Amino acid sequence: MATKSKAGGGDARARVAQMRAAEKRRERIRWIITFAVVLAVVGALAGGAVWAINKDRREQDERHAKANQARIEAGPPWAVPDDPIHRAKELGLDVKLGMEGDAKHIHAHLSLFVNGEQHQIPANLGIDAAGNIAELHTHDTRGVLHVESFSADKVFTLQQLFDLWEIPLSTGELGQFKTDATHTLKFYVDGKEVTDPPSGITLEAHREIAIVYGTAEDNAKITVPESFEFDENE
């Protein structure tokens, strides 16, 4: 009887061990299922958040593009973009609060003529209401282009200015105006015509840059400036 009792006890312990092992397996399965569900929920929420962010960004970009197109068609003179700093960051221009980079601090001047009339360059191009300033910007409507960079080796061009302004510019296009059989688009540096594209016209200290678009009759009314009288501190 003692032997049977001992054997029976061994069977009972084995069954208990098996039950515990089975319960542990079920517990692991429950944890795995719970973890998978949590991951799925988190993934769905994250995916939804990313989708919402992307949707909002697309809508903002679409609104900006429409507003910008209306702004282009309304000019010249062309106003600054709704967000003067938005494009500066996209272009890789340094933007700082109260920008005063002095590694390269120069001023050039731009004169803009369209269809026989001179148009102003807007003030606060590259500057927002909070005082954030791009290293390429304007302060007033005189056409003075300010370069205040922390990099002495950085090169700034006429193309960058118009990209910052979000006004199309190429050798055959200025805003909504395009060259054709009767309309030309010419670029001048210090009063002399150049054939370089806008990306090849660099902003140098006290350089006078002029853009002239129009018919031969319109352009005959214009005297292309050779220089600009900068202020004493410029």
Residue 61 placed within a domain: yes
Residues of the domain holding 23: 1-74
The pLDDT of residue 51 is 67
The reply to whether 52 and 126 lie within a common domain is no
pTM here is: 0.76
Residue 231 placed within a domain: no
The reply to whether 147 and 179 lie within a common domain is yes
The pLDDT of residue 57 is 64
Q: Give the C-alpha separation, 13 to 221, whole Å.
A: 109
Residue 230 placed within a domain: no
Residue 232 placed within a domain: no
Mean pLDDT in residue range 15-19: 76
Asked if 122 and 141 touch (Cβ cutoff 8 Å), the reply is yes
- Residue 53's pLDDT band, with cuts at 50, 70 and 90, is low
Mean pLDDT in residue range 125-151: 96
Asked if 95 and 134 touch (Cβ cutoff 8 Å), the reply is yes
Residue 136 placed within a domain: yes
Rounded to the nearest 10°, the torsion over CA 53, 54, 60, 64 is: 150
Please indicate whether residue 73 or residue 13 has the higher confidence score (pLDDT): 73
Reading the block at residue 193, the tokens are 């015509």
Where is mean pLDDT largest: 39-43, 59-63, 74-78?
74-78
* Total number of domains constituting the chain: 2
Calculate ∠ Cα 173-175-176, nearest 5°.
85
Residue 233 placed within a domain: no
Residue 3, pLDDT above cutoff 70 = no
